[in-house]
Structure 1
């Protein structure tokens, strides 16, 4: 007879306090909004950084690939 035994080490879940989880959520949301702005909204003409920083041209092909119109 073969007996099945539990694995020697069980993994335990990571438990975050609510304040730390909220901090991670807010930080992730801010980074996601910044990425969305630079890829989907920034057109160069009314860019946050002015006309010298052409983020639009840097991510131009990615904008079309993701379905954002820019012309």
Structure 2
């Protein structure tokens, strides 16, 4: 028989709940920003074309068609 004992995890999570919450919040904000820059054609902004014109150069920089 071998004297090697199996290693049991201590039960500590690999990632904290606070870090996980922060990561999820950052992903949601980045997805919302990507939608606003790339796809919004005035559906979210109440002023119609204002957001479209504000993000116009960003669309062309990313190669997203907007015309």
Aligned pair partner of 1:55 in 46, 51, 56: 51
User: Gaps spanning 5+ residues in structure 2: where?
Assistant: 1-13
Structure 1 residue 17, shift from structure 2 partner: 4.7
Moved over 2 A (4+): none
Structure 1 residue 58, shift from structure 2 partner: 0.3
Aligned-residue CA RMSD (Å): 1.8
| Match runs of 1:37-52 below 5 Å | 37-44=35-42, 47-50=43-46, 52=47
TM-score when normalising by structure 2: 0.67
TM-score when normalising by structure 1: 0.64
Partner Cα distance (2:38, 2:21) in 1: 25
User: After superposition, what is the alpha-carbon deviation per residue over 1:47-70, rounded to whole angstroms, capped at 9, x for unaligned?
Assistant: 1233x1521100101100111111
Aligned length: 53
- Find the residue that maps to 2:45 and give its secondary structure: coil
User: Gaps spanning 5+ residues in structure 1: where?
Assistant: 1-15
| Match runs of 1:1-71 below 5 Å | 17-44=15-42, 47-50=43-46, 52-53=47-48, 54-71=50-67
